[in-house]
Amino acid sequence: MLLEKIENNYKEALKAKDDFAVSILRVIKAALQNAEIAKRPDKFTDEDAVKVIKSEVKKSQDALVDFERGGRADLVEKTRREIKFLRAYLPEELSEEATEEIVRRVIDVMKPSWPRDFGKVMGAVIKEAHGQASGDVVSKIVKKLISG
């Protein structure tokens, strides 16, 4: 289970005195605990944990853009390392071709009309991809396929 892996990695990082890993894992553990409490611990799954980690990656990516605009090279490099570290806990993302295949299947089933059903198609694709498809990639493909 992902929560156990994170906990074990946290303990290992503490023993190794890896301040970088400890600080990131502390943030992730806190975010996961908050999400677990909100959902009830007995109902919290690895899929929920992946969503929390993706959210943390997204926050870091947003911060990265701000740091790059502000010319903060020190924070840019640190944030890139954090993003890379966090992505190691996420399932590998589907290729654009595999994502497009899922989008085509969903469109064949739903027969959506543009733009009204865009959100429904997005939700169905994300659900079918089990969190392994990037929202940006899915959005681009859905727009391309149902608007044209």
pLDDT tens for residues 106-133? 988 988 777 788 888 888 898 888 778 8
Q: What domains can you pick out in the chain, each with its CATH number?
A: 2-87 (1.10.1510.10), 96-147 (1.10.10.410)
Give the predicted TM-score (pTM) of the model: 0.74
- Cβ atoms within 10 A of the Cβ of 119, count? 11
Contact 100, 84 (CB under 8 A): no
For residue 148, what pLDDT is reported? Answer: 63
Query: What count of Cα atoms within 13 Å lies in the side-chain half-sphere of residue 120?
Result: 12
Largest CA distance in the chain: 56
Residue 123 CB partners (closer than 8 Å, separation 6+) = none
Give the C-alpha separation, 80 to 86, whole Å.
10
Give the C-alpha separation, 20 to 22, whole Å.
6
With cut-offs at 50, 70 and 90, classify the pLDDT of residue 79: very high
Q: Is a pLDDT exceeding 80 seen at residue 141?
A: yes
Q: Which two tokens stand for residue 105?
A: 């299947």
Q: Is a pLDDT exceeding 80 seen at residue 41?
A: no
Q: Is a pLDDT exceeding 80 seen at residue 25?
A: yes
Give the C-alpha separation, 133 to 139, whole Å.
10
Give the C-alpha separation, 26 to 85, whole Å.
13
Contact 141, 118 (CB under 8 A): no
Helical ranges in 40-72 per DSSP H: 46-69
